[in-house]
């Protein structure tokens, strides 16, 4: 009888820990529930799954309906704020979204100590005049005094990812972001919507002091919507606006900082006739616009510059399709694999 029961009982294959870790690491930040369930399987699985569960972390979530203090719904992840030293040491990537100043006032004494932090992702709010805020107090005439975000104090990431940025304006001198956040940054990433309309030139870019900066990436997100504010339609809305990227390139040309522009071809989607356009052609058009703008600026600054001098200035500037970026760059240090898979799925449907 016992032998029959023994044969009928299901058995769990004993996979090597290395295989289990590879499987768990393939789960992205979008599968926090699955990772949490894996932690509850057994003590052994808890030890394997816990580092992956906390690798991508978001201390608070904010649903911003209309960019006003009254329209911000705060979903506080209270358990995160009570994590112990062991769990905090597992965090590699931290995402913080646009949120009300009142939240930080309630947690003004809370400073996270993340010794193994690699990247910080800042989800900026919609543009207000010359700034994209992280706090609602960053907005001019908001009625609240700007203050540094306590969630960012004491953090020294190697990579900072700025999401929802505008093609018309880059201003990272934001009152709520401590200047110390930029001290160890080697990689600076900007992610903008592929759907942002061309509204002409914008404002001069402002960057904080970045003493260790080595590379900049600008990515066009094919899933992010454009600005929500309705404006009078212009005939040139569908043209590619690379003003702010050109200005950033001009700022970095003497600092030996490499600059990679990724997925510019996705901007055809903002054109109602995108089905008759070409991603490849749009990508080449972006390259031509950048080269022409920088060449004209160099020649305007020095009449003696020749063609070889112009080419030397473009050695650190590269253009990449989404496929080339995924294949060649070390994005896994600061981008989520599932998000890139979604981007890739969208791009596969566009005309080449």
Report pLDDT for 310: 57
Secondary structure of residue 219 in the 3-state scheme: strand
Segment 272-310, tens digit of pLDDT:
888 989 999 999 988 888 888 888 777 777 666 655 555
d(CA 118, CA 34): 23
**Spatial CB neighbours of 263, under 8 Å, sequence gap ≥ 6:** 194, 219, 220, 221, 222, 320, 321, 322, 325, 343, 347
Q: Report the pLDDT averaged over residues 12-21.
A: 80
d(CA 183, CA 180): 5
- Relative to beta strand 60-64, strand 72-76 is antiparallel
Phi, psi angles (nearest 5°) of residue 245: -65, -40
Segment 51-98, tens digit of pLDDT:
888 888 776 555 444 444 433 444 444 445 556 677 788 889 988 888
Q: Would the pLDDT of 232 be above 80?
A: no
210 close to 185: Cβ distance less than 8 angstroms:
yes
Report pLDDT for 35: 85
Report pLDDT for 64: 45
113 close to 84: Cβ distance less than 8 angstroms:
no
Burial class, 266, CB count within 10 angstroms (exposed 0-12 / middle 13-18 / buried 19+): buried
Report pLDDT for 184: 96
- Continuous segment of H or E residues that includes residue 165: strand 159-165
250 close to 297: Cβ distance less than 8 angstroms:
yes
d(CA 84, CA 223): 36
Segment 190-211, tens digit of pLDDT:
999 998 877 666 678 889 999 9
pLDDT band for position 250 (cuts 50, 70, 90): confident
Q: Would the pLDDT of 113 be above 90?
A: no
Cα angle value 300/306/307 (rounded, 5°):
105
d(CA 45, CA 201): 54
Report pLDDT for 261: 94
Look at the block and give the residue holding tokens 């972390």.
57
Q: Would the pLDDT of 160 be above 80?
A: yes
Instruction: Indicate the pTM of the whole model.
Output: 0.84
Domain residue ranges of the chain, discontinuous segments joined by +: 13-56, 58-227+234-347
Helices (H) and strands (E) in the chain, counts: 12, 10
Report pLDDT for 99: 80
Report pLDDT for 71: 39
């Amino acid at each position: 009888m016992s032998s029959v029961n023994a044969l009928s009982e299901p058995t769990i294959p004993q996979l090597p820990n290395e295989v289990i870790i590879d499987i768990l690491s393939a789960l992205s930040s979008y599968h926090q529930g699955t990772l949490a369930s894996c932690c509850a399987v057994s003590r052994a699985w808890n030890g394997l799954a816990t580092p992956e569960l906390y690798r991508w972390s978001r201390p608070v979530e904010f649903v911003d309906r209309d960019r006003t203090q009254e329209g911000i719904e705060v979903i506080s992840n209270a358990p995160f704020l009570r994590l112990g030293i062991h769990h905090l040491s597992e965090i590699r990537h931290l995402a913080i979204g646009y949120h009300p100043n009142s939240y930080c006032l309630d947690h003004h004494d809370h400073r996270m100590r993340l010794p193994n932090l690699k990247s910080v992702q800042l989800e900026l709010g919609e543009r207000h005049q010359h700034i994209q805020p992280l706090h609602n107090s960053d907005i001019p005439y908001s009625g609240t005094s700007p203050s540094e975000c306590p969630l960012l104090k004491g953090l020294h990431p190697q990579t900072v990812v700025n999401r929802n940025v505008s093609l018309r304006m880059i201003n990272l001198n934001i009152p709520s972001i401590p200047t110390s956040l930029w001290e160890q940054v080697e990689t600076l990433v900007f992610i903008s919507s592929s759907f942002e309309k061309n509204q002409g030139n914008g404002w001069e870019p402002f960057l904080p002091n970045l003493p260790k900066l080595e590379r900049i990436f600008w990515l066009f997100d094919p899933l992010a919507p454009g600005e929500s504010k309705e404006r009078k339609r212009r005939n040139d809305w569908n043209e590619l606006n690379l003003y702010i990227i050109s200005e950033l390139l001009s700022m970095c040309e003497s600092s030996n900082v490499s600059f990679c522009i990724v997925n510019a071809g996705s901007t055809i989607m903002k054109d109602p006739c995108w089905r008759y356009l070409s991603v490849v052609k749009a990508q080449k058009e972006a390259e031509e616009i950048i080269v022409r703008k920088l060449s004209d600026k160099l020649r305007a600054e020095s009449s003696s510059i020749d063609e070889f001098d112009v080419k030397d200035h473009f050695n650190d500037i590269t253009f990449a399709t989404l496929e080339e970026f995924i294949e060649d760059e070390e994005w896994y240090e600061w981008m989520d694999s599932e998000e890139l898979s979604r981007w890739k799925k969208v791009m596969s449907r566009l005309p080449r």
